[in-house]
């Protein structure tokens, strides 16, 4: 059986677009032997902007301030100098299948869009997730029904595991729809709790990153089927500001109704997420509210903003950010 994690790096304009796969098999592979492309049922396709895979701040400044021609000239003049890792680097390079003798991260496809948006290519690549530093392109991808998030670089980055991929998700407006947040914003916390209790057995609608959790789950189940649940190289977390006692049940029942599992569910009842994420040390964390993204980044977590739902409409104060 060939289990793989495929990363598609789709980049626009000043970025490079590439598709890489980390592929493994039961055979011993040497670094000179190129792994076979993964089968779709054994792969996750992730589109990653080069600006978040590598640190390209200097290049970005030239592109924005001086234009494409000077940008190209600078790139050619420095083409032999490697980039420093960016916030997505550890997420892309992590070894997913540590129970198999060997696997490699290699580049399959390369594409340059000459300044045009890459979003049109994502569906053709069957991308499960798109990560970029450009919030406009992220919004465009979400409008096309593609799981996407804007990635930020923390000033310090916490060391993360190289043998287990850890992915942390917020609940509402990330895995789930923003239904509950709309109730909270319009009617307050008491009405929110009342609504959740009344609809406890009604699953929430899906949010923009449900499909990505599903893709991770499919890979996890291959290990579960071999009795390797505790040794699975992928671990998922729900980190939500919901309260376990008053509104957590609906979130868990929703996941169960979708046939999805989450390895750990952490209900913080409005408390800051940064300290908990510092303990988890995920490779990546997704939240729809910048308050939590910034708090996570301050603690060294690579955090991504999902610009989806009511929290993105107008000015949202800090009290709203502590909502479910």
Going by C-alpha positions, the residue among 87, 100, 123, 122 that lies closest to residue 42 is 100
The answer to whether residues 88 and 147 belong to one domain is yes
Domain boundary among 151, 184, 212: 151
The answer to whether residues 122 and 186 belong to one domain is no
Active-site annotation holds for 170: yes
- Percent of the chain predicted with pLDDT > 70: 75
Q: Which of 1-5, 27-31, 83-87, 282-286 shows the highest mean pLDDT?
A: 282-286
Domain count, the chain: 2
Does residue 158 fall inside a structural domain? no
Q: What is the pLDDT of residues 156-204, one digit of tens each?
A: 888 888 889 999 999 999 999 998 888 888 888 888 888 888 998 999 9
Res. 79: pLDDT tops 90? no
Res. 128: pLDDT tops 60? yes
pLDDT at 255: 95
Domain boundary among 151, 179, 206: 151
What pTM, to 2 d.p., does this model score?
0.72
Task: Give the Å distances, CA to CA, from 281 to 7, 133, 214.
Answer: 21, 21, 21
Q: Give the mean pLDDT of 83-88.
A: 74
pLDDT at 290: 92
Q: What is the pLDDT of residues 248-290, one digit of tens each?
A: 889 999 999 999 999 999 999 888 999 999 999 999 999 999 9
The answer to whether residues 145 and 172 belong to one domain is no
The answer to whether residues 145 and 197 belong to one domain is no
The answer to whether residues 50 and 171 belong to one domain is no
Does residue 48 fall inside a structural domain? yes
- Percent of the chain predicted with pLDDT > 90: 31
pLDDT at 246: 80
The answer to whether residues 196 and 231 belong to one domain is yes
Does residue 217 fall inside a structural domain? yes
Does residue 227 fall inside a structural domain? yes
The answer to whether residues 112 and 248 belong to one domain is no
Residue 245: helix, strand or coil by DSSP? helix
The answer to whether residues 123 and 262 belong to one domain is no
Domain containing 115: what range? 4-151
DSSP string, 96-138: S-TTSS-EEEEEEEEE--TTS-SHHHHHHTT-SEEEES-HHHH
The answer to whether residues 223 and 187 belong to one domain is yes
Catalytic residue among 15, 70, 134, 170: 170
Task: Give the Å distances, CA to CA, from 237 to 95, 155, 187, 264, 294.
Answer: 18, 23, 29, 5, 19
The answer to whether residues 146 and 188 belong to one domain is no
Domain boundary among 92, 122, 151: 151
Q: Give the mean pLDDT of 68-86.
A: 74
Q: CATH no. for residue 264?
A: 3.40.50.1000
The answer to whether residues 139 and 233 belong to one domain is no
């Amino acid at each position: 059986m060939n289990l793989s994690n495929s990363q598609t790096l789709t980049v626009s304009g000043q970025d490079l677009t590439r598709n890489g796969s980390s592929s493994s098999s039961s055979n011993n592979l040497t670094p000179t032997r190129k792994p076979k492309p993964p089968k779709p049922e054994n792969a996750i396709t992730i589109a990653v902007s080069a600006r978040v895979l590598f640190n390209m701040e200097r290049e970005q400044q030239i592109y924005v301030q001086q234009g494409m021609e000077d940008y190209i000239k600078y790139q050619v003049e420095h083409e032999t100098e490697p980039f420093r890792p960016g916030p997505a680097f550890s997420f892309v390079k992590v070894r997913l299948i540590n129970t198999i003798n060997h696997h490699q991260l290699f580049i399959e496809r390369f594409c340059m869009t000459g300044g045009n948006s890459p979003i049109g290519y994502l569906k053709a690549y069957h991308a499960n997730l798109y990560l970029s530093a450009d919030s406009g392109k992220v919004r465009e991808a979400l409008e096309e029904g593609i799981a996407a998030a804007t990635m930020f670089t923390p000033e310090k980055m916490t060391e993360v595991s190289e043998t287990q991929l850890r992915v942390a998700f917020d609940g509402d407006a990330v895995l789930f729809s923003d239904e509950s947040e709309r109730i909270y914003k319009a009617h307050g916390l008491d009405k929110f709790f009342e609504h959740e209790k009344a609809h406890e057995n009604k699953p929430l609608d899906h949010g923009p990153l449900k499909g990505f959790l599903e893709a991770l789950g499919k890979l996890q189940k291959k290990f579960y089927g071999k009795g390797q649940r505790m040794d699975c190289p992928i671990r998922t977390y729900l980190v939500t500001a919901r309260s376990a006692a008053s509104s957590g049940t609906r979130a868990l029942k929703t996941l169960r109704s979708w046939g999805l599992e989450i390895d750990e569910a952490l209900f913080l009842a409005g408390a800051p997420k940064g300290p908990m994420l510092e303990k988890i040390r995920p490779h990546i964390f997704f939240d729809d509210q910048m308050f939590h993204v910034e708090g996570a980044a301050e603690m060294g977590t690579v955090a991504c903003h999902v610009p989806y739902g009511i929290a993105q409409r107008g000015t949202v104060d800090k009290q709203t950010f502590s909502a479910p």
